[in-house]
Amino acid sequence: MGMETGLGELPAFGVSPASRRDPQSFLESVCRTVVVQGVSALLAFPQSTGELLQLEFLSSTIRIPVVSIVGKQYPRQSQA
């Protein structure tokens, strides 16, 4: 995920395979690149339900709104 603000483009974060597996590393990276720079909202393009849930967790943890743009609907698996 990369971001752009009026101050220029912020560094991409959370794209390395290691940080995808480790939520703590992902959150630390976000805090270093986003919170410190005073970003007021994030725009995200999650590719899976797992990424969408991580973004919800991130939003509630750092208290910054995340707008998720979903390119396709994720299939729901209901248990009958």
Binned at pLDDT 50, 70 and 90, residue 4 comes out as very low
Question: Domain of 21?
Answer: 11-68
In a domain, 18, yes or no: yes
Binned at pLDDT 50, 70 and 90, residue 42 comes out as confident
In a domain, 77, yes or no: no
Pairing of strands 66-68, 42-44: parallel
* Assessment of whether the complete model's pTM goes beyond 0.75: no
In a domain, 51, yes or no: yes
What pLDDT, on the 0 to 100 scale, is given for residue 26? 72
pLDDT in tens, 7-35: 445 455 445 555 556 777 777 777 777 77
What pLDDT, on the 0 to 100 scale, is given for residue 3? 45
- Looking at the structure of the chain, the number of domains it has is 1
C-alpha to C-alpha distance for 38 and 41, rounded to whole angstroms:
9
Mean model confidence pLDDT for the chain:
72
In a domain, 29, yes or no: yes
C-alpha to C-alpha distance for 3 and 35, rounded to whole angstroms:
13
In a domain, 54, yes or no: yes
Tokens of 58: 């991130």
